[in-house]
A and B are shown apart, each in its own frame.
Chain A
Amino acid sequence: MNFSDTPQEAAFRAQAREWIAANAPHELREQLATAGLGQPVLRTGDVLQAGKAWQKRKQEGGWACLHWPTEFGGRGATPIERVIWQQEEGVFSKLSSPFGIGQGMCGPTLMAHAQERHKLRYLPPLASGEEVWCQLFSEPVAGSDLAGLRTRAVRDGDEWVINGQKIWTSGAHYSNFGILLTRTDSTVAKHDGLTMFFIDMKSPGVEIRPIKQVNGQSGFNEVFFTDLRVPDHQRLGEVGQGWKVSLTTLMNERLSIGAGMSTGFAELLDLCCTFETGEGLAIEDPAVRSKLATWAVRTSGLRYTGYRAISALSRGETPGPENSIGKLVAGQTLQEIAMFALDLQGQAGILMDPARVEASARFQAMLLRSPATRIEGGTDEILRNIIAERVLGLPADMRADRGMPFDKIPTRTSR
């Protein structure tokens, strides 16, 4: 029972730390440290440009996607070395958020299913941040029931013609490429008629419209396809095997989104230790302390659950579905903490102006962003299903559409 590195791990950590000290954009540290949820907003310029610069620098130093094989732009690092790098990169990793989906999900999917020449062409610029990728999965009628998607791909010689609509595509507006899950056969069961492709986002027939979110920002998009033509060699996996291919992506999604998520507790403790309620510091109120304790133990429980996962990696084990708890716990906690922080501020808790509000209105921003955390990348309910079925071994839910050909599945309009 210890937190110590092995000698090799310690040497690797020292090397990473030294490189970061010499190369990181330290002038951005303060802004990144206090950035809210989601993609950071920089006062001093465009985060995408700053992110690309940092990513390129990492790639030149051999630290971009370090767990990828060398020929694809990585350095073949072990999983534990990747974790050590993430720990050392700290706040600067927020600069890499525009590349998170591409490197975390699209990259592994390409690695597992793309033609060799495509891997060599597309993976290195994805690793270096020169090209950005997005993931085109969810649709207006296919969210948690992703396999119910309706975007059609029809074969035409050596090409496929694609029509339909995707939604909740993070970063589509600045992406160069995307992986796209389509329906190629409506006459078979829903999971059996799907096929995956990758597409050039600048192709004719692709239209991107930003979605205005609850918090006023627009990180997500709708993407429309009108007679988009995609060559067959951009198919990932066999025709009809798209569901299996997508599982590669989704497994990586859960791991990368859940890793080291903030619950907002540290920020709330800071607030309570400095905020005058009118009857003394908030932290001096026993009722406040009691509330904080529950969030404190959830936060520490997630931290040490993470350390147990790292220990398992260090022993050479593979993380499993038990890691679904990270986002499930963090998402709910963020929302509860945001509400409590507003409550502490009394009737003025509704104010949004960072210049006038406690903690630069970060809790107000957290309130308005946190509902998305409980939905994106697997809703709370889907995560509970995963824990129940894949960790506890409970039976899968009974499904009304099981084994039914896709075009016979009841919908709102066919009922």
Chain B
Amino acid sequence: MEFEFSAEQQQLKDQVRRFLADRCDRNAVRAVLEGEQPFDRPLWKAMGELGYLGASIPEAYGGLGAGYLEACVIAEELGRAVAPVPFGSSIALAAEFLLMAGTEAQKQKYLPRVASGESIGTLALVEGTGRVTPASIAASVVRVGEHHSLTGCKTAVADGDIADFAVVAARDASQVSASSPRISLFLVDLQQAGVKRSPLATIDPTRSHAQLDFDKAMAEPLGEPGAGLAIIEQVFDRAAILTAFEQLGGADRALEMARDYALERFAFGRPIGSLQAIKHMLADMYVSATLARSNCYYGAWALSTDAPELSTAAATARVSATQAYQHCSRNNIQVHGGMGFTWQFDCHLYYRRSNLLAVSLGPLSGWEDRLIKRLSEQRAA
């Protein structure tokens, strides 16, 4: 049994960690936090040049074709560095939508530029609060001659202000039955006249979000008509595993920060890390992070081998990593005491990111539900 990343993958991980220590230190993250720029474009370009963005994109489409295990390792390091880059939108989602549902021409057109970092993609799905259901999607596409025309409004679109194109879920006028609207996916160039972008304030300013208003924007069908939600479900399984690694990296770093602070901070004449109340809190954080790591490895194995239990593994990794990151980031602040609540200390960067990622692919409760449905199906089989 070799339930572990290979020596080469570990080397890649070390290499990415050194690269990010150099190129994505706290000043780089804070430049985005303070609103000086919406994301770290030079960092993103450099990652593209080094092949980090195209690790899981096949060579035929301009990627490295290295595989998903490599992408998992990179995602973990990005999470650790709370990197202000659109990895979740462009690599975990847009590229996966194209690979899953794109035509050969669409893959050829978009993927090489996604892999190089020249073009950024995202998913525009959500319209209001609450869960995404067919009824919650009002954006619609009509066919006008040879073209498709999209009208509607999408909110909380990650990287909506900086992305070059979006995968948009919309009602398909040609598929509509009034009682059960069918949702299709469309590729939409965001740099066109019919698209208005409005940046949105979120709990995590290091990852920019926007509202997108489409007014008769040109759209191109992606995947089978009416299959939109089914494709989203499949892509979310894959994206959830990459995101879980990002969460894992953040959880590990938050635990380390808390541990380091507990060693250096003295109170009552002793390091606070010698007090059992603090030690036990840290031990519980370690337990969460360790369970999440093991579950993430399960997800990585399933993703890299396209295992039949991919969906179970994805939900397992997702639930476990979400819980661990939220647990570690909030207790990291607690261990730091008042200093942890200052803008100056970095604890809040992890607290923000953990809570952003916790809902970025739909809420925890939805993934919990999905996990138990999958496990009870497996039990019946």
Point out residues on A near B: beta carbons under 8 Å. Answer: 1-5, 9, 269-270, 272-273, 283, 286, 288-290, 292-294, 296-298, 300-305, 307-308, 310-312, 314, 322, 325, 328-329, 381, 383-385, 387-389, 391-398
16 CB contacts below 8 A, A to B, read A1-B2, A270-B379, A286-B365, A289-B373, A296-B375, A297-B316, A300-B316, A305-B293, A305-B294, A312-B4, A314-B1, A329-B291, A387-B283, A388-B282, A394-B274, A395-B270
Specify the chain B residue showing the minimal Cβ separation from A265: B375
Which of A1, A312, A329, A395 touches B274 (beta carbons < 8 Å)?
A: A395
Question: Is B320 in the interface zone, CB < 8 Å from A?
Answer: yes
CB distance from B357 to the nearest CB of A (A): 16
Complex: chain B residue closest to A84, CB-CB: B1
| Interface residue from B69, B291, B380 paired with A297 (Cβ < 8 Å) | B291
**B285 CB to closest chain A CB, in angstroms?**
9
* Distance A328 CA – B283 CA, assembled complex (angstroms): 10
> Which of B34-42, B297-305, B344-352 forms part of the interface with chain A?
B297-305
Query: Does B355 count as interface, using CB distance less than 8 angstroms?
Result: no
Decide: B376 and A301 in contact? CB cutoff 8 A.
no
A293 & B319 in contact (Cβ 8 Å cutoff): yes
Shortest Cβ gap from B177 to chain A (Å): 27
What chain A residues lie within 8 Å of B287 (beta carbons)?
Answer: 325, 328-329, 387
By CB atoms of chain B within 10 A, which of A289, A303, A396 has the most?
Answer: A289
- Within 8 Å of chain A (Cβ to Cβ): is B371? yes
Give the docked Cα–Cα distance between A308 and B295 (Å): 11
Contact A2 B3 (CB under 8 A): yes
Main secondary structure of the interface of A (DSSP, over half): helix
A297/B320 in contact, CB under 8 A: yes
Those 5 A-B pairs whose CB atoms lie nearest each other, nearest first? A301-B291, A293-B368, A304-B294, A388-B279, A384-B283
Q: Within residues 328 to 381 of chain B, which ones have a CB less than 8 A from any CB in chain A?
A: 365, 367-369, 371-373, 375-376, 379-380
In-complex Cβ contact of A298 among B283, B291, B379 (8 A) = B291
**Per a CB cutoff under 8 Å, which of B69, B279, B292, B376 touches A384?**
B279
- Is B80 at the interface (CB under 8 A from chain A)? no
Contacts of A272 in B (CB 8 A): 376
Closest to B372 in A: A289
Give B365's nearest chain A residue, CB to CB. Answer: A290
B279 and A289 contacting across the interface, CB-CB below 8 Å: no
Given contacts A385-B276, A385-B283, A395-B274, 12 further A-B contacts (CB under 8 A): A270-B379, A289-B369, A290-B372, A293-B369, A297-B291, A297-B316, A302-B291, A303-B294, A307-B3, A308-B4, A312-B4, A385-B279
| Interface flag for B18 (CB, 8 Å) | no
Assuming the A-B contacts A289-B372, A296-B316, A308-B3, are A392 and B283 also in contact, with contact meaning beta carbons closer than 8 angstroms in the complex?
Answer: yes
Cβ–Cβ < 8 Å partners of B278 in chain A: 394
Residues of A within 8 A of B283 (CB): 383-385, 387-388, 392
Complex: A4 Cα to B301 Cα, angstroms: 12
Contact B291 A397 (CB under 8 A): no
Contacts of A300 in B (CB 8 A): 294-295, 298, 316, 320
A290-B369, A388-B283, A394-B274 known; A307-B1 Cβ under 8 A: yes
Nearest residue, chain B, Cβ from A289: B372
**Closest residue on chain A to residue B258 by CB atoms:** A392
Q: Give the complex CA separation of A273 and B374 in angstroms.
A: 12
If the complex has contacts A1-B304, A394-B282, are A308 and B294 also in contact, measured as CB distance less than 8 A? Answer: yes
A325 to B284, CA, bound (A): 9
**Residue of A4, A269, A301, A307 ringed by the most chain B CB atoms within 10 A:** A301
> Quick check: is B290 within 8 A (CB to CB) of the other chain?
yes
Asked whether B209 is an interface residue with its Cβ less than 8 Å from the other chain, the reply is no
B311 to chain A, nearest CB (A): 14
Q: How far is the CA of A316 from the CA of B214 in the complex (A)?
A: 59
Write out the residue numbers on chain A whose beta carbons fall within 8 Å of the beta carbon of B304: 1
Task: Indicate whether B286 reaches chain A with its CB closer than 8 angstroms.
Answer: yes
Whether the pair A395, B295 counts as a contact (CB closer than 8 A) is no
Q: Residue B271 at the A interface, CB < 8 A?
A: yes
Residue with the greatest number of chain A CB neighbours at <10 A, chosen from B259, B287, B323, B379:
B287
Which of chain B's residues 1-46 have a Cβ closer than 8 Å to chain A? 1-6
Residues of B within 8 A of A283 (CB): 372, 376
